Amino acid sequence: MSKQENTKQEKIVSMFDNIAPTYDTANRVMSMGVDRSWRRKACDLAYGFSAKDSIDKIVDVACGTGDMMNYWKTRAEVSGIAIGEIVGVDPSRGMVDVAREKFPKFNYHIAKATEIPLKDESCDILSITYGIRNVVEREAALKEFNRVLKNKGLVVILEFMRNENPSFLGKIRDFYMNKILPKVGGFISKNLEAYEYLPNSIEDFSTVEGMIQELEAAGFELLYSKSFSMDISTLIIVQKK
């Protein structure tokens, strides 16, 4: 990582440290709770693709305040799937502190997506929800995902993707993301800069097609891709070849 990339990554981590105490409240208000259905869908589909009654380890990278980890747990219970361990990985100590308080039974590591402190081929499922666009060294992170996953293991990505040719509804989404969301998030968190970062990070990020190509180059095979709610959020599920 170059000095410039390192500085950028450190700034992003510091930003999440600062908004950690109000992150959950801001998320619920801005998404109007609809992100819950996206998360349930991601877990249920992944468990379907896995087709196992028991899973040794699920890792949630950029775990934030732990919500996705809890969805993995509760959706497994609904489906009658036994989970050995759920691990959260995030470089923001502030976010992980909140996660530990909410979900103390999970295991956590303060670490970057490019430096996951787990053994080779030790995980069955790896998820990253609304975090991959915040990873500066994305190519290195995808290779790291491949390293820690078992053969035929799954990567589950939920993310806000850049849309080069937005539909009418997509333009409504962009207006909300660019004009309304930063003001709402900034008001709740008292950190306008952090929520102005969100639409800017989407514009600087990949398209769905580009993300799939990056995943395939890193040794994964596409199983599922779909955008939800006026293309606000996209779910991608790939399998390690």
pLDDT of residue 148: 98
pLDDT of residue 221: 98
Structure tokens at 236: 């991608």
Look at residue 144 and tell me whether its pLDDT is greater than 90: yes
pLDDT of residue 29: 64
- The maximal CA–CA distance of the chain, rounded, in angstroms, is 47
Instruction: Provide Rg for the chain, Cα atoms.
Output: 17
What average pLDDT score do residues 14-25 get? Answer: 79
Handedness of CA 194, 19, 5, 199 (dihedral sign): negative
Cβ-count burial 193-219 (b if 16+ within 10 Å, e if not): ebbbbbbeebeebbebeebbebbeebb
- The mean predicted confidence, pLDDT, of the chain is 89
Handedness of CA 234, 59, 90, 72 (dihedral sign): positive
Domain residue limits, the chain: 3-240
pLDDT tens column, 170-202: 677 777 777 777 787 777 778 777 777 766 777
CATH for 3-240 (3.40.50.740, 3.30.750.24, 1.10.238.10, 3.40.50.150) = 3.40.50.150
Look at residue 164 and tell me whether its pLDDT is greater than 90: no
DSSP the chain: --HHHHHHHHHHHHHHHHHGGGHHHHHHHHHTTTHHHHHHHHHHHHHHHH--SEEEEEEEET-TTSHHHHHHHHHHHHHT-EEEEEEEEES-HHHHHHHHHH-TTSEEEE--TTS--S-TT-EEEEEEES-GGG-SSHHHHHHHHHHHEEEEEEEEEEE----SS--HHHHHHHHIIIIIHHHHHHHHHT-HHHHHHHHHHHHTS--HHHHHHHHHHTTEEEEEEEEETTTTEEEEEEEE-
H or E element, residue 150: strand 149-159
pTM summary value: 0.89
